[in-house]
């Protein structure tokens, strides 16, 4: 009999997630039935969405999440032992699956070195950057983009896609190291939002022609400050609002309907699964950019399943540069 280990909620998160909110338990897995596979986690993803989404779950439920796993037993003809799959198995070391909703990784793209990218640039966060920016911001060469959490998994890719499209890119991130990183990626301007004295004045200086597109990962004050500086017919892609995820109640904000009305802004929220059927199209194009060195990505790797919670908590204190992944 196989034993799996998994993280379950011990109690609902209150404020910043704490290690004592989750615990690792063991689970005995039964022998496989026909049509099933046994998969072992190789790379696990920690993502900001887990914090708000776990509100829907109760104590004892398994932490949600996606992983790259290796098929180690198979009674399903579609999957052979040794195949790698991406599955929403949660925070667990081994999983029995009937193969539904699994994507088998094409090893010509996801080589040994790039397996973890299936959770990052060539995975959900990459698709988020690609579609959330291109579809909702509809960039034109010469336009100015502002992007928040610009050194993160999504933000760092958004800024680079905007550069590929000929835009001027202004990014904000939470440390000088991150600012140096995104400048190295080709961002035109980059600022540490924790050390600037005035976000409004910084934006005015960095965007002398105003802001045409805003890709927001943060929400809160950041959103309230950027919106009045948008140009007429500006486009705003609401990707995330991480500044609000640890709060029990969202903060009260500015009343911006006048700005939205008179500037005729287009503001749209999205969940990346809207474009699920088109994800392969994004990965193909982004992989081409990676191979031509037009698109770069970084991963912050946490070693060991037992340290997975630290990787997750680190998302809310800015520990990651690029995509946060866990090596099982
Ligand atoms: P990141 O890699 O950007 O990691 C999170 C980063 O957020 C941290 O490194 C930190 O960067 C910043 N941060 C954390 N807490 C705060 C805070 N209180 N205020 C401001 N910044 C904070 O994560 P992702 O790229 O995976 O996700 C970015 C955003 O996109 C998130 O809001 C996420 O929920 C959203 N998202 C939305 C999807 C969708 O379908 N709409 C899909 C995927 C992600 P720093 O050091 O710069 O502060």
- H or E, element range at 2: strand 2-9
Q: Which protein residue has the closest C-alpha to ligand 1 atom 10?
A: 318
Measure 151 CA to ligand 1 centroid, in angstroms: 9
Listed residue (276, 227, 272) closest to 133, CA to CA: 272
CA 298 – ligand 1 centroid, Å: 15
pLDDT of residue 250: 86
**Residue 82 CA to its chain's centroid (Å):** 27
284 within a domain of the structure (yes/no): no
CA distance 269 to 96: 35
pLDDT at 216: 98
Q: Tell me, yes or no, whether 268 and 302 share the same domain.
A: no
pLDDT (average), residues 129-137: 99
Q: Quick check: 202 and 196 in contact, CB under 8 A? A: yes
Pocket test for ligand 1, best of 242, 274, 300 (most atoms within 8 A of CB): 242
Where in the sequence is the domain holding 12, given as residue range(s)?
2-120+298-327
Using CA atoms, how far residue 136 sits from 38, 188, 291, 292, 293, in Å, is 39, 22, 26, 26, 25
Task: Say if residue 72 is in the same domain as residue 143.
Answer: no
Euclidean distance between CA atoms 9 and 2, whole angstroms: 22
Give me the CATH number covering residue 188. 3.40.50.720
CA distances 125 to 69, 234, 279, 295, 325, Å, are 18, 24, 11, 14, 12
Strand, coil or helix: 47: coil
CB 321 less than 6 A from any atom of ligand 1: no
What number is the average pLDDT over the span 182-207?
A: 98
Among the three residues 273, 290, 319, which one is the final residue of a domain in this structure? 273
Give me the count of residues in the chain.
Answer: 328
Residue 96 has pLDDT above 90, yes or no: yes
What is the CATH classification number for the domain harbouring 6?
Answer: 3.90.180.10
- Is 281 contained in some domain? no
**258 and 132 inside one domain:** yes
Q: Say if 101 falls within a structural domain.
A: yes
State the greatest distance between any 2 C-alpha atoms of the chain, in Å, as a whole number: 66
- Nearest atom in ligand 1 to 244's CA: 18
Mean pLDDT for 155-176 is: 98
Instruction: Specify the pLDDT at position 57.
Output: 96
Residue 159 lies in a domain: yes
**Neighbouring-strand partners of residue 41:** 69
Is the model's pTM score more than 0.75?
A: yes
Closest-lying ligand 1 atom to the alpha carbon of residue 272 = 40
pLDDT at 1 over 90: no
> In this structure, what token pair is assigned to residue 252?
């009260």
Q: What is the mean pLDDT of residues 25-48?
A: 98
Distance 124 CA to ligand 1 centre (A): 13
**Token pair 């933000």 in the structure block, residue:** 155
82 in any annotated domain: yes
| Nearest residue to 127 via CA among 280, 302, 319 | 280
Alpha-helical regions (H) of 138-238 = 155-164, 176-184, 199-206, 220-226
Buried b or exposed e, range 101-116, using 16+ CB within 10 angstroms: ebeebeeebbeeebbb
Our measurement of the distance from residue 67's CA atom to the centroid of its chain's CA atoms, rounded to an integer in Å, reads 14
Q: Categorize the per-residue pLDDT at 181 as very low, low, confident or very high, splitting at 50, 70 and 90.
A: very high
Q: Is residue 292 part of a domain?
A: no
Convert the pLDDT of each residue in 257-307 to its tens digit.
999 999 999 999 999 999 999 999 999 999 999 999 999 999 999 999 999
Whole-number Å distance between alpha carbons of 241 and 226: 14
**Average per-residue pLDDT in the chain?**
98
Query: pLDDT digits over 218-259, tens only?
Result: 999 999 999 999 999 999 999 999 999 999 998 999 999 999
The number of helix segments (H) and strand segments (E) in the chain equals 9, 15
Are 98 and 148 in the same domain?
no
What are the strands, taking DSSP E only, across 221-317? 230-238, 266-269, 299-303
Domain count, the chain: 2
Residue 61 has pLDDT above 90, yes or no: yes
Q: Round to whole Å and give the CA distance between 305 and 284.
A: 30
Query: Mean pLDDT over residues 307-319, rounded?
Result: 98
């Amino acid at each position: 009999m196989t034993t799996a280990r998994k993280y379950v909620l011990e109690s609902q998160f209150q404020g910043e997630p704490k290690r004592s909110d989750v615990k690792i338990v063991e689970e005995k897995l039964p022998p496989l039935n026909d049509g099933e596979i046994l998969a072992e986690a190789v790379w696990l993803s920690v993502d900001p969405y887990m914090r708000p989404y776990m509100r829907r779950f109760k104590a004892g439920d398994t932490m949600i999440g996606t992983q790259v796993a290796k098929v180690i037993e198979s009674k399903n003809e579609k999957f052979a032992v040794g195949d790698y799959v991406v599955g929403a198995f949660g925070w667990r070391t081994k999983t029995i699956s009937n193969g539904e909703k699994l994507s088998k990784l094409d090893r010509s793209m996801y080589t040994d070195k790039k397996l973890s990218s299936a959770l990052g640039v060539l995975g959900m966060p990459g698709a988020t950057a690609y579609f959330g920016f291109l579809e909702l911001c509809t960039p034109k060469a010469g336009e100015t983009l502002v992007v928040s959490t610009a050194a993160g998994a999504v933000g760092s890719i958004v800024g680079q896609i905007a550069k590929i499209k000929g835009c001027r890119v202004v990014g904000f991130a939470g440390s000088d190291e991150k600012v140096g990183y995104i400048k190295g990626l080709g961002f035109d301007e980059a600022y540490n939002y924790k050390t600037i004295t005035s976000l409004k004045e910084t934006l005015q200086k960095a965007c002398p022609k105003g802001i045409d597109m805003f890709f927001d990962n943060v929400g809160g004050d950041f959103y309230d400050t950027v919106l009045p500086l948008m140009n007429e017919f500006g486009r705003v892609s609401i990707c995330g609002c991480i500044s609000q995820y640890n709060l029990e109640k969202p903060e009260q904000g500015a009343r911006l309907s006048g700005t939205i009305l008179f500037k005729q802004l287009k503001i749209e929220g999205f969940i990346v699964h809207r474009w699920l059927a088109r994800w392969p199209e994004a990965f193909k194009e982004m992989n081409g950019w990676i191979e031509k060195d037009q698109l770069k990505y970084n991963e912050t790797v946490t070693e060991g399943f037992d340290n997975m919670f630290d990787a997750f908590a680190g998302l809310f204190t800015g520990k990651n540069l690029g995509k946060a992944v866990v090596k099982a």
